[in-house]
Structure 1
Amino acid sequence: MKPKIFIDGEHGTTGLQIRSRLAGRDDIEVISIPVERRKDTAARTDFLRAADIAILCLPDDAAKESVALIGDAGTRVIDASTAHRVAKGWTYGFPEMDREQAKKIAGAKLVANPGCWPQGPIATLRPLVTSGIIPAGFPITMNGISGYSGGGRQMVEDYEAKGDDAPEYLPYGLTFQHKHVPEFRLYAGLSRDPLMQPVVGDFAQGMVTMVPLQLAALNHVPTGAELHAAIADHYAGLEESVVEVAPYAAVERTPELDPQSYNNTNRMRLHVFANDKKAQALLVAVYDNLGKGASGAAVQNMDLMLGLKH
């Protein structure tokens, strides 16, 4: 019997992307609530409890409600909301984060899908923190740009309605209370809050995240090559990883940092740039905010949980 997958919130941005990625697969069965019963709690409960895996593409409160509706039914959960990303009992759904993380996800009942914004900085920083090259208490700043689809259906509708009048470059989170900060801090291994300053661009999807490092403050100042080697070593030993590390090179600019480079894929590419004389470096991740940053990650986690390879 094929495993049953229920996407709770399948008509939202992430849900639609997951549904599209699962279309045509014959190794699973996607079950859906009839449109007229989407807001019927009893119907949602029945589908949640009938599924082998429920993928929650909902606002935080609704995701918590869905978990409560499942109760003791045994349904395994992938939650794409922010609700459970730092909650006890939930496994973080970034398979490449540690060497054993994919195995943890494969055996988990409750998996919290990563947020799009923290995943790139975690991917570049965590190997440096866990190896001791960057101290956990080092002051970290993250910035970057994402397509407007990262803001969900309302932002998509707003941007598309404005057409040529939509802002090309819109910084936000200027109170530095972004909802992804706790997730970023925990899984990057930091002991203090990072300063996170995201930007929305006038393009639908794709993103680049950047972590600048002022290395002169460290007792041992690593070179760019040392930073790159530590990151590359971490990802080199992973099986079936969708994260790759670009060769270390001194360049003024590169087309590889186009935020739309990996749209509609589940790939992530990491870069290290540095000026050793100035003791400065920049860690960069390029990926699709709807791919590795959301729906692609959810499908990757689903496949791990079901023991499927794609």
Structure 2
Amino acid sequence: MKPRIFIDGEHGTTGLQIRQRLAARGDLDMLSIPEAERRNDALREEMLKAADIAILCLPDDAAKQAVAMLDGTNSTRVIDTSTANRINPDWAYGFAELDEGQAEKIASARLVANPGCYPTGAIGLIRPLVKAGILPSGYPVTVNAVSGYTGGGKQLVAQMENEDAPDHIGSPHFLYGLTLTHKHLPEMKEHGLLDHLPIFSPSVGRFAQGMIVQVPLHLGDLNNAPSLSDLHAALEKHYAGQDVVEIVSLGDSAKLARIDPTELNDTDRMKLFVFGTEGKGQANLVAVLDNLGKGASGAAVQNMDLMLSKRAV
């Protein structure tokens, strides 16, 4: 029997991407409800309970409602793409490359919290350095990022693309999260192994998909004043043996004049760079990913496949 997959919220930006990625998969039995019935809670509950894996592409409150519908007694396994459970210790964090053994935790879990797009880049840069003893957990980390506008869901897509909309956004680039209270901050702190919330400055550009995340560092304030080579070596060691996260060589990075946030669009990969000038005491760590690939839908499919590898027969 094929595993049954239900995407609760399949008509939203992330859900549509997951549905498209799974459309040609002959090894899955996709459960679905019409868009007009998406608020039919009885039908949603029926589908949730019939699924082997339910992928929740919903706002936080609706995701919590969906989990409550399963009431802990149902065998349905869950991947939640909302922020509701990303620091919940009862949920496996769905960043397979986070640490050695993380993919196995995801494969064996009933409940998996899909990471956020910004945190995937930030944590991907920060955590390896904290674990290596290079970046103090109390360091005042700052994270600067720009995302494609699909990261804001259907409402932001409409604001950016529909010039006739009363709330149309015509600017080529805008900064937001100005109160420094972005919903991804607890996730960055928890899985970045930090003592304090980082200062996070997110922004959106006039491109649909893609993302750049930056973490600037003063090397003299880190443990043992590391070189750029030390930072690069720590990242390489942390991600050794996997093919999703690529650590770009220092030589190749030094040849670059610019970074394109759309470089990895329509892939599920992430590139990490170490920029700076050796001996100058500063570094800029950079992650590039597709906000709908490794940053959302692609990660959900990756987690689903890991979970299916441990499916009971």
TM-score by length of 2: 0.94
CA distance in 1, matches of 2:122, 2:76: 31
Task: Give the structure 2 partner of residue 102 of structure 1.
Answer: 103
Say which SS state the counterpart of residue 288 (structure 2) adopts.
Answer: strand
Trace 1:221-236 onto structure 2 (pairs within 5 A): 221-236=225-240
Could you tell me whether the CA contact under 8 Å between 1:223 and 1:274 is conserved in 2?
no
Task: Give the structure 2 partner of residue 60 of structure 1.
Answer: 60
Which amino acid letter does the alignment assign opposite residue 294 of structure 2?
K
CA distance in 2, matches of 1:28, 1:204: 29
Which amino acid letter does the alignment assign opposite residue 116 of structure 1?
C
Quick check: 164-173 or 217-226, which moved more? Answer: 164-173
Say which SS state the counterpart of residue 210 (structure 1) adopts.
Answer: strand
Trace 1:1-310 onto structure 2 (pairs within 5 A): 1-71=1-71, 72-162=73-163, 166-238=170-242, 241-249=243-251, 251=254, 253-255=256-258, 257-307=259-309
How many angstroms does 1:251 deviate by?
2.6
Q: Which runs of 5+ in 2 are unaligned?
A: none
CA distance in 1, matches of 2:194, 2:35: 44
Quick check: 276-285 or 141-150, which moved more? Answer: 276-285
How many angstroms does 1:28 deviate by?
0.8
CA distance in 2, matches of 1:161, 1:37: 26
Deviation digits for residues 166-204 of structure 1 (CA, Å, limit 9, x no counterpart)? 211101111100000000011111111100001100110
How many angstroms does 1:274 deviate by?
2.3
Say which SS state the counterpart of residue 293 (structure 1) adopts.
Answer: coil
CA distance in 2, matches of 1:242, 1:165: 34
Could you tell me whether the CA contact under 8 Å between 1:262 and 1:287 is conserved in 2?
yes
CA distance in 2, matches of 1:207, 1:301: 21
CA distance in 1, matches of 2:256, 2:145: 16
CA distance in 1, matches of 2:223, 2:97: 29
Which amino acid letter does the alignment assign opposite residue 18 of structure 1?
I
CA distance in 2, matches of 1:121, 1:156: 24
Q: Which runs of 5+ in 1 are unaligned?
A: none
Deviation digits for residues 126-150 of structure 1 (CA, Å, limit 9, x no counterpart)? 1100010111001100002100110
How many angstroms does 1:247 deviate by?
0.7
Aligned length: 305
Deviation digits for residues 56-100 of structure 1 (CA, Å, limit 9, x no counterpart)? 000000000000001211100000001111112001000001011
Could you tell me whether the CA contact under 8 Å between 2:136 and 2:223 is conserved in 1?
no
CA distance in 2, matches of 1:183, 1:68: 22
Q: Work out the percentage of aligned pairs sharing the same amino acid.
A: 56
How many angstroms does 1:252 deviate by?
6.7
